[in-house]
Amino acid sequence: MVSIPEYYEGKNVLLTGATGFLGKVLLEKLLRSCPKVNSVYVLVRQKAGQTPQERVEEVISGKLFDRLRDENPDFREKVIAINSELTQPKLALSEEDEEIIIDSINIIFHCAATVRFNENLRDAVQLNVIATRQLILLAQQMKNLEVFMHVSTAYAYCNRKHIDEVVYPPPVDPKKLIDSLEWMDDGLVNDITPKLIGDRPNTYIYTKALAEYVVQQEGAKLNVAIVRPSIVGASWKEPFPGWIDNFNGPSGLFIAAGKGILRTMRASNSALADLVPVDVVVNTSLAAAWYSGVNRYLRPRNVMVYNCTTGSTNPFHWGEVGKKWSDLFSKRSMSWFPPRSPHVLSICLNSSCPNTAFDAQMMKTITRLHKAMVFLEYFTSNSWVWNTDNVNMLMNQLNPEDKKTFNIDVRQLHWAEYIENYCMGTKKYVLNEEMSGLPAARKHLNKLRNIRYGFNTILVILIWRIFIARSQMARNIWYFVVSLCYKFLSYFRASSTMRY
């Protein structure tokens, strides 16, 4: 078969979600590793006073595209921003843009979705289900379409413990739900949401399962493939290690811990931390579209589904995540506090509450991190088994050069190195903090430790003066405990001397 870059040569690609985390990484990788792709049409809506062209320009001007700018400075000419609203009929396209898309598009990558776990059901259905259906209807009119690639989530069927690479029956008929939401008021929708989502943890997971069914049913005549990533994290290798731009998932954990806000979290040490680097997801998507495209005349009856996960091939547990993080910050004496941090009290008390008195921006960060912690708890406390036969088959179909360029072999992933790059990436790219400040931060960490020890000592003395010194019974109990500890230590020392 032709190589992946050869397949994309001269092709016109339609991409949704290009301003999101996964979409922008896919855009960069496609333009860099398949330089002869003809054009990439990006569907973007106006937002916050910015035109679609301005929003796309902001994305491709970012740090993520530095390597691409060095290798191919003219790549901007291939990116075409199109004003669109995915939730509107016909995607709110102008007649001219609709005609261009119908006539020219060869491959679709549908990455757009709301990833907010607490999204109300109406908006989640609108963005994840109805938008997908609108895009499918447009795809059916395209004259030269070869592949429709839909990005889902490995947790779409998290109500099952073993998940195969198939589309399961939906929890409810999407059409009936859409019709019902048209006449329900917001209060009624909110009331019935818990009953509707049932044993799924949130509306995001619920609506992504519905979207898969829509893709299967409405796209029955199309050459469709679905990629299901698990918890998408920072980049592994490309375009450089550790790139991340959001607080979602583990990013929030690492930032909260690095800032001293998070000291503990609820998780099962034995639960699989099914993290998958974003560049692995992108490579899998590009490779899966290539495979479906070159084999489109031998298209299977069932939709090709790829469970893009790590747990079955390179398992890593949440207990190990905690240990790696602890080793990273203790052995290297790393602290993310700036030299003149106003957040000393929060460290002394192991609480984030006092930060509000010092820094409103910090409080905003804390709020975002707290939400990330709450929503992640379900995934840090449970494990699933995903079948990855299709991913393994896909990997075996790649020629040696494509295996290097579009690496999807997570068996090569070294978790300790990845976690370190991930932590540094959140500091550098999410918090926009300079790495040159680490030496000063390390000295500051030692000061904070001394302050905490001093504070705890003062706290013990105050408790003694206020409570224990005023009560004879409390003093007796105190002396008994101290005497007991002294006898224990004496016995321990005597035993050690005898053994010696």
Structure tokens of 295? 């084999």
Return the H-helix or E-strand segment holding 277.
strand 275-277
CA 271 to chain centre: 18
**Res 49: pLDDT:** 83
Answer yes or no: is 484 within a domain. yes
- Whole-angstrom Cα distance, residue 133 to residue 139? 10
Residue (of 442, 446, 257) closest to 350 by Cα position: 257
**Res 254: pLDDT:** 80
Residue 162: CA count within 13 A, CB half-sphere: 1
24: Cβ contacts below 8 Å, ≥ 6 apart: 18, 59, 62, 64
**Res 238: pLDDT:** 93
Answer yes or no: is 446 within a domain. no
**Res 288: pLDDT:** 96
Q: Domain range for residue 498?
A: 470-500
Answer yes or no: is 477 within a domain. yes
Query: Mean pLDDT over residues 200-210, rounded?
Result: 92
pLDDT in tens, 224-260: 999 999 999 999 999 999 999 888 878 877 877 777 6
Query: Mean pLDDT over residues 353-368, rounded?
Result: 56
pLDDT in tens, 146-169: 999 999 999 999 999 999 999 999
- The pLDDT mean for the chain works out to 84
Task: State in Å, rounded, how far the first CA of the chain is from the last one.
Answer: 73
- Whole-angstrom Cα distance, residue 417 to residue 420? 5
How would you classify residue 469: left for phi > 0, otherwise alpha for psi between -120 and 50, otherwise beta? alpha
Rounded to the nearest 10°, the torsion over CA 396, 397, 403, 405 is -160
**Res 351: pLDDT:** 38
**Res 248: pLDDT:** 80
DSSP 235: -
- Whole-angstrom Cα distance, residue 277 to residue 284? 11
Say which amino acid occupies 402: D
| Dihedral sign of CA atoms 36, 39, 43, 48 in order | positive
Residue (of 14, 281, 8, 301) closest to 134 by Cα position: 14
Answer yes or no: is 100 within a domain. no
Answer yes or no: is 440 within a domain. no
| Dihedral sign of CA atoms 410, 61, 430, 203 in order | negative
- Whole-angstrom Cα distance, residue 424 to residue 255? 10
84: Cβ contacts below 8 Å, ≥ 6 apart: 43, 44, 45, 52, 91, 92, 93, 97
Where do we find the tokens 């030269």? 144
Burial 142-171 (b: 16+ CB within 10 A, else e): beebbbbbbbbbbbbbbbeeebbbebeebb
256: Cβ contacts below 8 Å, ≥ 6 apart: 262, 369, 372, 373
In this structure, how many other beta carbons lie within 10 angstroms of the beta carbon of residue 49?
6
Q: Evaluate if residue 350 carries a pLDDT over 50.
A: no
Number of domains, the chain = 1
Answer yes or no: is 291 within a domain. no
Query: Mean pLDDT over residues 26-35, rounded?
Result: 96
Task: Indicate the pTM of the whole model.
Answer: 0.83
Where do we find the tokens 């031998």? 298
Query: Mean pLDDT over residues 439-462, rounded?
Result: 67
pLDDT in tens, 287-329: 999 999 998 877 666 789 999 999 989 999 888 888 887 777 6
- Whole-angstrom Cα distance, residue 253 to residue 232? 14
74: Cβ contacts below 8 Å, ≥ 6 apart: none
Answer yes or no: is 233 within a domain. no
pLDDT in tens, 49-83: 889 999 999 999 999 999 999 999 899 999 999 99
CA 257 to chain centre: 17
Q: Evaluate if residue 337 carries a pLDDT over 60.
A: no
**Res 436: pLDDT:** 61
**Res 345: pLDDT:** 29
**Res 327: pLDDT:** 76
Answer yes or no: is 480 within a domain. yes
- Whole-angstrom Cα distance, residue 239 to residue 235? 8
Higher pLDDT, residue 117 or 133: 133
| Confidence grade of residue 480 (pLDDT, cut at 50, 70, 90) | confident
For the ranges 36-40, 110-114, 397-401, the lowest mean pLDDT is seen at 110-114
Q: DSSP H helical segments within 201-277, as ranges?
A: 203-218, 250-258
Q: Could you tell me how many residues make up the chain? A: 500
Where do we find the tokens 């496609």? 30
Higher pLDDT, residue 451 or 244: 244
**Res 452: pLDDT:** 64
**Res 15: pLDDT:** 96
**Res 297: pLDDT:** 76
Return the H-helix or E-strand segment holding 60.
helix 52-60
* For residue 239, cis peptide bond before it (omega within 30 degrees of 0): yes
Return the H-helix or E-strand segment holding 307.
strand 304-308
